[in-house]
Structure 1
Amino acid sequence: MTRIRPITVFAALIVPLSSAIAQPATPAAAPAASEAQAPLEPFVAQYKVYKGTRELGDATLQLVRQPGDRWRVDLLMRGAGVFRIAGVHADQSTVFDVSATGKTYRPLTQATVRRLAFTRRQTIGLYDWNSRSAHWTGDVKASRSRPVALQPGDMSGLLINLAVIRDAAPGKALHYRFVDDGRVRDHQYQVAGDVESMGAGDMRFDTLRVGRTGHAHGDETLLWVADGVPTPVRILQRENGQDTYDLRLVEYKGIQ
């Protein structure tokens, strides 16, 4: 696959959202895996957000190191013009740790902020691996306010995106358990057998398409990933056959 060498830059943390998340006590060690994986590397990636042919705004996806051998992954979406009022404005953040082999990304805390017109909704989640339980506070629906029993390998949506990049191989089936914002779902992905050439800004990559269909929930996610690129080249979300958000990579850089 075509590769681009990341540019190393010094970057400030883009998302202040993590300051709203209480730092949990150090949990029990994450379960080990049999094979070592490529280590994570911090990055920041810029996207344009579309719905069909309409450009809605911009998005930033970043991965940063945290004290105590922890990491944080953040996604910010910002609508432009009338689309800002229409609700294309959301922040998501997950703090997590990684097993010694790199095979397990284990969420510790999570926060989501969504703004729609003049309203603001925020939820904060804590994954307590000592008690094997997760719960969310803030603007949480009653149906999602009860504690969720955790299982080894459970991940937030942002962590699943990182895991897909790590695990994707031609023709491979992937399975993850999504535990995020009080919801629990089994996510099945299928990796395409052939590569697709895809442009991203002034770059071009040979990508693998990775698809997930929600079936009962009517939602679908497609990701295009490329060898050596730490972030998806494209992320397309659909509901009931209609595009909701289409994030297309513009550029990415390594950070220290």
Structure 2
Amino acid sequence: MKRLLFTSLLLLVGAGSAAAADLQPFVASYQAYRAGALAGTATMRVVRTRAPLWRIDLDLQGDRGLAGLVGLDVAQSTVFDALGDGYRPLSQSTVRKAFLLRRKSVGTYDWAAGTARWTGDVKAERQAPIALQPGDMSGLLINLAILRDAEPGKSLRYRFVDGGRVRIHEYLVSDATENVGVGDLRYEALRVSRSNGGNDETIVWVADGVPTPVRILQRQDGEDGIDLRLIRYQGAK
């Protein structure tokens, strides 16, 4: 699977104390499309474990018989804290499953030592320690940052540190909202498009008052890849 996530999806350094105050638990359900065809489902959730710790999960499941072909049996999770200086990752895990195959990688963000490191099923060159900078985030946390930061016409810049990789992600928010949704469920949402992804495009739509992206689309070489479309969400305790 081409680094889904919301991976590509996003820190705006200096988010301030509003970060922790505005964050709320939720559970969101998506239909998952691949190349324009319905291929499975996805669930994103944010859970508060104990103050100041939170966890964000993304579980994708392909239709039985299709999962291994479309790369849609993936579970990702990030434990993080929200202490007034944004969303700071503490640990991250990814599990990918296909026919007779299961791969798992685990990342640890050691802020005291100033390094992040991944173990498990990751390439050897991605197991070396990465020097952390204030504001570094996992792919999943970038979703929350986009929701927090998106304003009409605004440029966003984030440092993605995940899976043993470091990348700068730059995004541009549309000047006006557009109507997006699935079936009868429609939203007026801002389009947030990655501006430095080259042939790998990531587009996220965010709607006022909705705690989760209403759509996440990844495109490669101009063709639609994985496309998550929100069908329901609710607050969680």
TM-score by length of 2: 0.89
Who is 2:148 aligned against? 166
Larger radius of gyration between Structure 1 and Structure 2: 1
The within-5 A match list for 1:221-232 is 221-232=202-213
SS of 1:174's equivalent in the other structure is strand
Who is 1:20 aligned against? none
The answer (yes or no) to whether the contact 2:181–2:229 under 8 Å persists in 1 is no
Who is 1:149 aligned against? 131
Who is 2:25 aligned against? 42
Amino acid at match of 2:74: A
The within-5 A match list for 1:56-71 is 56-71=39-54
Q: Deviations over 1:82-133 (max 9, x none)?
A: 3123132000000000123xx5100000000011221111000000000110
Q: 1:53 aligns with which of 25, 36, 40?
A: 36
RMSD: 1.7
Who is 2:165 aligned against? 183
Distance 1:81 1:203 in 2: 26
The answer (yes or no) to whether the contact 1:201–1:249 under 8 Å persists in 2 is no
The within-5 A match list for 1:2-81 is 34=16, 36-37=18-19, 38-81=21-64
Q: 1:95 aligns with which of 79, 82, 106?
A: 79
Distance 1:221 1:33 in 2: 23
Q: Which runs of 5+ in 1 are unaligned?
A: 1-30
The answer (yes or no) to whether the contact 2:74–2:95 under 8 Å persists in 1 is yes
Who is 1:106 aligned against? 88
Offset at residue 140 of structure 1 (A): 1.1
SS of 2:66's equivalent in the other structure is helix
The answer (yes or no) to whether the contact 1:32–1:99 under 8 Å persists in 2 is no
Instruction: Give % identity.
Output: 54
Who is 1:192 aligned against? 174
For this pair of structures, how many residues does the alignment match?
A: 223
Distance 1:35 1:93 in 2: 24
The answer (yes or no) to whether the contact 1:221–1:238 under 8 Å persists in 2 is yes
The answer (yes or no) to whether the contact 1:59–1:247 under 8 Å persists in 2 is yes
Who is 2:8 aligned against? none
Distance 1:33 1:78 in 2: 33
Who is 1:247 aligned against? 228
Amino acid at match of 1:209: R
Distance 1:168 1:157 in 2: 16
TM-score by length of 1: 0.83
Q: Which shows bigger deviation, 200-209 or 127-136?
A: 200-209
Distance 1:180 1:151 in 2: 13
